[in-house]
């Protein structure tokens, strides 16, 4: 950056000095940021790597090499968790791909702008203006076998013996966590799709019509979906990292029940580290998950990045 | 032909209306269930206006079960953290966008790489650091400092792009008038960035308010809990006066700040997302 400004003398006389900002200013301005990052992000990151190689329990620490990793991989609960993660992942991808996309298409194709904005505002408010914990606790109430909404509906219809036992088995416990929040259209996902749709230039739609693409379904599959690939991939990536690492929801909805069958890796880490104080073991779990995410991201970059990805945004 | 268009339009409205209904119905239930007694839960589940109506659950939960104090904690922490994030991140974003200093790229990559950092890698050591080494457990710093440290990453990312797009002439003009660099930033760049600041503030408040695990771990003192942790603890029934409605009353109370936030700021949030804050 060169200061080629014309330094005009002020009417009051005297020369103007155009002060170029110094390097020092740059460092000062990023100073707080870097200090905070090092203390709360970088140092902990490398510490985790280090802890995972010890048996640190808050009192004493002995270097034990890869023992923690061996123990994790030999733990049947670990593999149980990974199985649950697969289930959760499939469910979340379905949740994120089908209904929010439908909702975004509906919003996009509504004629009246006022109505579109109104529906959009209602969906956003319903989805984001309420804390996730509130939704979780609310649905916990719905799932209760005595006074829960589901049971009440079955009871009103006279078929209460058919009512689902939401905590009965491993798969029911996982399902109830994933069903929560139906119809899953409130919040960010729908907005992201809508943004993607609005970014498609109108000329494309007109050209398609000229080329004979008629009817909503044809247009949907031949125009919209290919052009939404970017958003779809983003959401799938978020689902993947969420399924691998997420555990707060499971903790609140099932706590790992029944009998730790709905355990997920993150929850295992939480219990091992903060309940049993086995920090080394917990750190090992965190590192393994980190490496998994890294591997998936790498694979995504290398193989799934297709050259036919359409860029609709200008 | 027009009729067919009208029918499809009707069905679109019907579908959207159903979705909105299904999304908002649970919240409606939440309100109704927050004033019903245990008996009414079982016997009069479907009644919309229970008789008698139990508004006292709200005051019980606010005063006796700690929701009032928790609300203060949450709002205080969210507010201070957001101000902190905006302050720290704007400075850094401006420096990255418009200044030149040795190893600027390196430092910027240090910031951006953290977008890839999974929370779990930092959780255990950060916990030990904050509660053990720094002995900040059960203080507001235990929440505020890590929130600023974590939240600034995305904010720097977004604001740097914005700052970089500003025309240099404006900064030059201010510098010609003798303004120091910080002054330039505060008087020229910041006022221009109000829309993106609004989006960024909403994002940060949402993230801080909703955080669960970290406050759960670092705030063991009940009077220092945040709303999200406190509302969950409402479900534990040591209180002889426990009523199921109280849990829902707590839910409603916990929702109010975010609801207000969205009343005020949803326009900015939506605009921010729609105009490409999602340039991942």
Question: Testing the interface with A: which of B26, B40, B228, B275 to mutate, by most A Cβ within 10 A?
Answer: B26
Q: How far is B89 from chain A (nearest CA, A)?
A: 7
pLDDT at B229: 95
H or E element that contains A303: none
Q: Is B66 left (phi over 0), alpha (psi -120 to 50) or beta?
A: left
> Which is more confidently placed, A37 or A302?
A37
Q: Which residues of B touch A123 (CB under 8 A)?
A: 19-20, 23
Query: How far apart (Å, rounded) are the C-alpha atoms in residues A245 and A267?
Result: 9
ipTM over 0.85: yes
The pTM assigned to this predicted structure is 0.88
Give the model's confidence band at B1: pLDDT under 50 very low, under 70 low, under 90 confident, else very high.
low
pLDDT at B45: 80
Query: How far apart (Å, rounded) are the C-alpha atoms in residues B35 and B255?
Result: 16
Report CA-CA distances (Å) from B135 to A191, B127, B139, B194.
42, 10, 9, 37
Neighbours of B257 (CB within 10 A): 18
pLDDT at A9: 43
Peptide bond into A172 cis (omega under 30): no
Among A24, A44, A270, beta carbon nearest to B126: A44
Nearest to B239 by CA among B93, B81, B85, B38: B38
- What does the angle CA A236 – CA A168 – CA A244 come to, to the nearest 5 degrees? 25
Report CA-CA distances (Å) from B41 to B27, B32, B243.
16, 10, 10
SS3 of residue A54 by DSSP: strand
Per-residue model confidence as pLDDT tens digits over B54-90: 888 999 999 988 899 999 999 999 999 999 999 999 9
Nearest to A267 by CA among A255, A281, A284, A277: A255
Alpha-carbon torsion (A146, A151, A155, A158), positive or negative:
negative
What is the CATH topology of the domain spanning A67-304? MetI-like fold (1.10.3720)
A30 at interface of B, judged by CB pairs closer than 8 A: yes
pLDDT at A20: 63
Q: Which residue of B has its CA nearest to A130?
A: B255
Q: How far is A204 from chain B (nearest CA, A)?
A: 20
Query: Phi, psi at residue B16, to the nearest 5°?
Result: -65, -40
pLDDT at B221: 92
Q: What number of residues does chain B have?
A: 280
Q: Which residues of A touch B155 (CB under 8 A)?
A: none
Q: Between the ranges A225-234, B73-82, B269-278, where is the mean pLDDT highest?
A: B73-82
Per-residue model confidence as pLDDT tens digits over A251-300: 999 887 778 888 999 999 999 999 999 999 999 999 999 999 999 888 87
Kindly state the percentage of chain A with pLDDT values over 70: 88
pLDDT at A162: 76
A283 at interface of B, judged by CB pairs closer than 8 A: yes
Per-residue model confidence as pLDDT tens digits over A101-134: 989 988 888 888 888 888 888 888 888 889 999 9
> Which is more confidently placed, A234 or B74?
B74
What are the sequence ranges of the domains in chain A? 67-304
User: Is B24 in contact with A126 (CB distance < 8 Å)?
Assistant: yes
Check whether A307 has a pLDDT greater than 50: no
Beta-carbon contacts of A56 under 8 Å, excluding residues fewer than 6 positions away, are: A279, A280, A283
Give the residues across from A152 on adjacent strands.
none
Instruction: Locate the DSSP E strands across chain A.
Output: none
- Across the interface, whether the CB atoms of B125 and A18 are under 8 A apart is answered no
Kindly state the percentage of chain B with pLDDT values over 70: 97
Which has the minimum average pLDDT: B129-133, B138-142, B178-182, B202-206? B178-182
Q: With a CB-CB cutoff of 8 Å, which residues 193-212 of chain A face chain B?
A: 194-195, 198
Q: Which residues of A touch B30 (CB under 8 A)?
A: 134, 138
Give the model's confidence band at B276: pLDDT under 50 very low, under 70 low, under 90 confident, else very high.
low
Query: How far apart (Å, rounded) are the C-alpha atoms in residues B257 and A126?
Result: 14
pLDDT at A21: 64
- Across the interface, whether the CB atoms of B26 and A142 are under 8 A apart is answered yes
pLDDT at A33: 94
Neighbours of A93 (CB within 10 A): 16
- Across the interface, whether the CB atoms of B19 and A185 are under 8 A apart is answered yes
Query: How far apart (Å, rounded) are the C-alpha atoms in residues B217 and B223?
Result: 14
Six token digits for residue A314: 């200008």
Check whether A45 has a pLDDT greater than 90: yes
- Mean pLDDT to the nearest integer, B239-253: 88
Report CA-CA distances (Å) from A136 to A141, A300, B204, B235, B272.
9, 32, 21, 12, 27
Q: With a CB-CB cutoff of 8 Å, which residues 153-172 of chain A face chain B?
A: 156
- Across the interface, whether the CB atoms of A26 and B99 are under 8 A apart is answered yes
């Amino acid at each position: 950056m060169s200061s080629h400004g014309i330094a005009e003398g002020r009417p009051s006389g005297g020369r103007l000095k155009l002060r170029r900002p110094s390097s020092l200013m740059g460092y000062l301005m990023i100073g707080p940021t870097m200090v905070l990052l090092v203390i709360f992000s970088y140092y902990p990151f490398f510490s985790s790597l280090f802890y995972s190689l010890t048996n640190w329990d808050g009192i004493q620490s002995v270097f034990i090499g890869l023992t923690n990793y061996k123990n994790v991989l030999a733990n049947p609960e670990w593999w149980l968790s990974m199985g649950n993660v697969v289930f959760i992942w499939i469910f979340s991808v379905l949740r994120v791909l089908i209904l929010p996309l439908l909702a975004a298409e509906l919003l996009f194709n509504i004629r009246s702008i006022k109505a579109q904005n109104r529906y959009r505002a209602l969906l956003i408010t319903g989805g984001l203006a309420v804390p996730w914990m509130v939704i979780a606790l609310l649905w916990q109430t719905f799932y209760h076998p005595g006074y829960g909404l589901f049971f009440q509906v079955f009871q009103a219809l006279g078929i209460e013996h058919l009512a689902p036992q939401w905590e009965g088995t491993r798969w029911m416990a996982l399902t109830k966590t994933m069903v929560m929040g139906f119809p899953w259209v409130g919040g960010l996902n729908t907005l992201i799709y809508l943004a993607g749709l609005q970014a498609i230039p109108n000329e494309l739609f007109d050209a398609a019509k000229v080329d004979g693409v008629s009817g909503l379904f044809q247009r949907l599959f031949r125009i919209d979906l290919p052009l939404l690939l970017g958003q779809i991939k983003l959401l799938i990536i978020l689902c993947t990292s969420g399924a691998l690492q997420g555990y707060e929801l499971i903790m609140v909805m099932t706590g790992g029940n029944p009998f730790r069958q709905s355990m997920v890796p993150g929850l295992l880490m939480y219990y091992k580290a903060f309940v049993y104080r086995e920090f080394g073991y917990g750190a090992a779990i965190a590192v393994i998950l980190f490496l998994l995410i890294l591997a998936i991201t790498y694979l995504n970059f290398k193989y799934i990045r297709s050259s036919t990805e359409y860029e609709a945004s200008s | 032909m027009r009729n067919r268009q009208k029918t499809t339009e009707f069905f679109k409205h019907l579908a959207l209306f159903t979705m909105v209904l299904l999304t908002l119905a649970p919240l409606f239930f939440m309100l109704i269930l927050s004033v019903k007694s245990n008996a009414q839960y079982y016997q009069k589940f479907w009644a919309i206006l229970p008789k008698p109506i139990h508004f006292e659950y709200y005051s019980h939960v606010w005063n006796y079960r700690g929701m009032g104090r928790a609300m203060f904690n949450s709002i205080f922490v969210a507010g201070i953290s957001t101000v902190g994030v905006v302050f720290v991140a704007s400075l850094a974003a401006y420096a990255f966008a418009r200044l030149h200093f040795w190893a600027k790229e390196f430092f910027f990559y240090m910031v951006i790489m953290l977008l890839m950092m999974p929370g779990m890698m930092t959780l255990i050591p950060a916990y030990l650091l904050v509660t053990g080494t720094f002995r900040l457990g059960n203080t507001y710093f235990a929440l505020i400092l890590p929130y600023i440290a974590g939240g600034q990453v995305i904010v720097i990312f977004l604001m740097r792009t914005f700052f970089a797009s500003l025309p240099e002439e404006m900064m030059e003009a201010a510098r010609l008038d003798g303004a120091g660099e910080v002054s330039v930033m505060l008087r020229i760049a910041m006022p221009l960035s109000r829309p993106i600041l609004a989006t960024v503030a909403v994002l940060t408040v949402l993230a801080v308010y909703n955080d669960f695990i970290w406050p759960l771990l670092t705030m063991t003192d009940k009077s220092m809990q945040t709303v999200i942790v406190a509302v969950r603890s409402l479900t534990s029934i040591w209180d002889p006066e426990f009523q199921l409605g109280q849990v829902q009353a707590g839910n409603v109370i916990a929702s109010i700040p975010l609801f207000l936030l969205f009343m005020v700021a949803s326009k900015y949030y939506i605009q921010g997302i729609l105009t490409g804050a999602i340039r991942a």
